[in-house]
């Protein structure tokens, strides 16, 4: 096999019944349990997508769920495109049957495959990268493992028969990575010879050496009712800053009346714009969107859409604030600057600030408004247009 690898896939196993957790989880199978507003299997897909060399993932769901879950996964990718290929297949009666079904869905060009339990949602991208690195360095199979801290004894009924040497023991995790052809060969032999195994490494060990890399203590498996506590969200408040910038040209007599911060200003130049041309609220809306990665106002309110012709920018800002609220971003402070030669804004500054406070639901000490000129330089200095910049600080619940 050519190395380094540039075509690896993950198989995310989400086909289990989760009987040990069913009652504690209200009847929800553990792969569908939500953590931070997404099911466990989707967290694993996100992590795989952040690793260079991973081209796609195969989701393996219970046979009865597979058709519906394919539609569900399609919706997830529409709302959050992970930038990798994907497919869905039905699982089998045993774990090894589900893996074998997933292997059959891999493209022919797939060089290495990583098999992962969806019930391990906390796996890191660095661990997956470490597995790929080990394969690139010549390993045909590699698994992550952690040192065993408890003393392990072999028992027969209620009697200890042997104390195992702890230094030689490891707790094995997933993902487990293998050359694709090797893992397929191992599964074919397992079917032909009736092997019963608990993980894929147990199969491959009969055909080739399997390497070990350090696992992660945080890469735990959600198995028992007490593990559900690990899914309880710990709310973290993170400060976020968004920055906005907008420009509008001055127009002729019949163009848009001058509005700034929602305040009409008499005697000012007209504005060329699709909406009402409020350059300050446009910059402010873009800055608010920036606090939660919401894109820009041109995406949400395109100037190619007739319904936004002459639109009140205050209304558009309120829609942006609703998006921020949904993203759990709370606006804490705004700093606004308008750059223009005309009109003179100091007589209107207090009213503009008051209206911004009203629109944002903020106190006066949380809003700063100022205006300046560019000393007759550039297009603003030549009285051809106006521009505004906005900086917004938000506190976002993560």
Domain boundaries, the chain: 8-231, 237-397
Predicted local distance difference test score (pLDDT) of residue 99: 98
User: Which residue did the predictor score with more confidence, 19 or 69?
Assistant: 69
Rounded CA separation 137/122 (Å): 26
The mean per-residue pLDDT over the stretch 193-210 comes to 96
Q: What are the helix (H) ranges across 294-366?
A: 297-300, 313-326, 349-360
Cis peptide bond prior to 253, omega within 30° of 0? no
Burial class (CB in 10 A: 0-12, 13-18, 19+), 133: middle
Rounded CA separation 39/180 (Å): 27
Give residues with Cβ within 8 angstroms of 101, minimum separation 6.
Answer: 60, 89, 90, 91, 92
Using alpha carbons, select from 268, 269, 258, 262 the residue that is nearest to residue 285.
262
Half-sphere exposure of 374 (CA within 13 A, CB side): 16
Phi, psi for residue 288 in degrees, rounded to 5: -60, -45
| 24: confidence class by pLDDT, cuts 50, 70, 90 | very low
Fold observed for domain 8-231:
Spore Coat Polysaccharide Biosynthesis Protein SpsA; Chain A (3.90.550)
Rounded CA separation 110/121 (Å): 24
**For all residues of the chain together, what is the average pLDDT?**
92
Q: What angle do CA 316, 322, 327 make, to 5 degrees?
A: 130
Domain 237-397 superfamily per CATH: 2-C-methyl-D-erythritol 2,4-cyclodiphosphate synthase (3.30.1330.50)
Predicted local distance difference test score (pLDDT) of residue 231: 77
Rounded CA separation 111/132 (Å): 11
Burial class (CB in 10 A: 0-12, 13-18, 19+), 75: exposed
Rounded CA separation 17/35 (Å): 19
Q: What is the pTM of this model?
A: 0.64
Phi, psi for residue 346 in degrees, rounded to 5: -55, -35
pLDDT in tens, 316-363: 999 999 999 999 999 999 999 999 999 999 999 999 999 999 999 999
| 254: confidence class by pLDDT, cuts 50, 70, 90 | confident
């Amino acid at each position: 096999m050519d190395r380094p690898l540039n075509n690896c896939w993950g198989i995310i196993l989400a086909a289990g019944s989760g009987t040990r957790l069913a009652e504690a989880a209200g009847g929800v199978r553990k792969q569908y349990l939500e953590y931070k507003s997404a099911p466990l299997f989707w967290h694993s897909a996100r992590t795989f997508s952040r690793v260079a060399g991973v081209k796609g993932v195969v989701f393996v769901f219970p046979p009865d769920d597979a058709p519906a879950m394919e539609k569900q996964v399609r919706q997830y990718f529409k709302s959050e495109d992970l930038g990798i290929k994907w497919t869905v297949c039905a699982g089998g009666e045993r774990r090894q049957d589900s893996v074998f079904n997933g292997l059959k869905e891999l493209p022919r060009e797939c060089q290495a495959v990583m098999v992962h339990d969806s019930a391990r949602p906390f796996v890191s991208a660095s661990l997956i990268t470490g597995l790929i690195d080990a394969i690139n360095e010549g390993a045909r199979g590699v698994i992550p493992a952690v040192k065993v801290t408890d003393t392990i004894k072999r028992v027969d009924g209620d009697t200890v028969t042997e104390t195992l040497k702890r230094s030689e023991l490891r707790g094995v995790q997933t993902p487990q990575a293998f050359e694709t052809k090797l893992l397929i060969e191992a599964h074919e032999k397992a079917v032909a010879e009736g092997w019963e195994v608990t993980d894929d490494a147990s199969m491959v060990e009969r055909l080739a050496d399997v390497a070990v890399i350090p696992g992660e203590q945080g890469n735990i498996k959600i198995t028992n009712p007490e593990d559900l506590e690990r899914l309880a969200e710990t709310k973290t408040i993170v400060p976020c800053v968004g920055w906005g910038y907008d420009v509008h040209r001055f127009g002729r007599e019949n163009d848009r009346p001058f509005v700034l911060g929602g305040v009409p200003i008499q005697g000012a130049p007209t504005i060329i714009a699709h909406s009402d041309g409020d350059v300050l609220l446009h910059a402010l809306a873009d800055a608010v969107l920036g606090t939660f990665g919401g894109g820009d106002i041109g995406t949400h309110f395109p100037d190619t859409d007739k319904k936004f012709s002459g639109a009140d920018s205050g209304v558009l800002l309120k829609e942006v604030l609703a998006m921020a609220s949904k993203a759990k971003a709370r606006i804490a402070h705004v700093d606004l600057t308008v750059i223009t030669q005309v009109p003179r804004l100091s007589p209107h500054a207090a009213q503009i600030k008051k209206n911004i406070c009203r629109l944002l639901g903020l106190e006066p000490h949380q809003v700063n408004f100022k205006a300046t000129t560019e000393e007759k330089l550039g297009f603003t200095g030549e009285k051809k247009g106006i521009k505004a910049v906005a900086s917004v600080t938000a506190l976002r619940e993560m």
